[in-house]
Structure 1
């Protein structure tokens, strides 16, 4: 841990500088790419991926904008606001960026489970650590070398004697420049990463269409997912070998189409991307099952009658499931996080990968009263069954 802390301190001491040229917005992605000599496209894709992962990329980018100095500045905009040096960004712009942090943080932490945000931030810090550890010794790259300063001519001096060292020969004609034959530079052929990637993607589509007749898994959304994986791999290889940048114009629409097909049903009903917040007051109002791919399910059963029996199941792929039960109800429960998650079900806790808890809790008055049977499952996220 001491080594990790030293590496992060070194990152802060030699943090990236946001360039004035070649940037798309605030220069955060370009500055990181130049600092560690990697393709800016990779960094930009990483920020987009983090933004799509619950919005974590938005406050991270704003934080980089505030904490990384701009090219030619003494300190970062936030440090300049505390009178630690000068920055080209005005105090009003710095305050505006700071204000924008509040809605982005509210969106990130309000719409997602704390566990998901923690995992994403931990992965981001790990990537920063690995970059600094493996490439921190490299000198930052530049977008273009600065032009060499011109030598001032002496008054009345010809171009061949700029310092005026031989005024006696100024009347002589200008010497003709000696011809310099330069061999043409050999053209370097870039690897045809784009064509190769498109060929592999075409083969994937063809193979999926053939295999779909025998294997039900090869549906259209799964095929699009395979194509996205191939395009992403080609873009990553091309960032190191040169070429393949045009793949991003195929990757972005393919990602949008793939997300739409998996998140929204074709009949227009967003049953796979939704939040449930219900308080049933009778047994008939309670559904047999609550399902969502991305979202949350909050179910309050405390308004149900004191007698009878009810049964329901909750299935969340990515998100949060919270069930509140009456004080005197007899609850039989099974809580599971099939991939990774955090469970807290009537006093039984577990967290990690592929965890499950189950049991029966009779409440404050012992056996008797409303019988509740719960089956609450989440692939990635939090599961809570609370009695209060």
Structure 2
């Protein structure tokens, strides 16, 4: 057997050992299904760290959602013989009903569809990293057992009148002696914890600076990609800290950074990137630009000073912000309003709000067909769109 085959065999054995001694979902102290709490108890790490890991995985393309559902289905509950999924195929008893098990199984389909439909290569990498973390946990902490509460015998009540140094009255002839002075105890030395958080922050700063320099030569180092690298560094530091009982303070930086990264990747900005506001009032057909755009901000386009004849076509676009277009009362307007991620639309009497909304049509104004013709596209990723005739 070659060295590679031996290594793969060792990984397989470790994962089989993890399954044989898999975590048990407790009935007390859990927030939802007890998956995170059970993993934390099994490997004696902070439950908060495990919960944060699931949240980070959920933000990383949605991987954390099907993984949590899988843990709910495959890990037995405290006091049960087998997991809910095993109970469904008659391998033993589980306190979860078959109907609940089937419902959880059905929820896996939309969760997996969303994850693999939107994540691509990122999902594969995240799953591989998760399996590697499970392997490391089992390899380094698999020998540990969940902490149990010992049942201590009830204390023996003291004999009435006995001094504190002889509560059971074993030496009544010496009860008249004074109480011995307590022996001073030296203060216990504080254990020195590894400076995992400080080292992780140093690596994160180095990665940030290196990404900024590399961005001068490579277009790959965009803001979402750099944030993803920083999240990976902080998550790795948090994982290392879970083994040595340090680094928990990294959570306060990882959570907001994960939220920002999720927002940037979910919204998918690919339009204009400038910041500010635009306000234009063209008075002739030639004054109208083909496009008015802003990255984050507002655009106000007032076409009410236009003449009563002619044709104009323009686009108003933003990544995040408010877009308002005023059109003349008698103009013939063909319009398309859209919020590709989330927004609120109010375009010549047609309204819509929510995620990925769009309205459009043709409005001939008060005088019917005839007059200035306007072809208008108003597009945003996130924000408010208004086309008003006033």
TM-score by length of 2: 0.49
TM-score by length of 1: 0.50
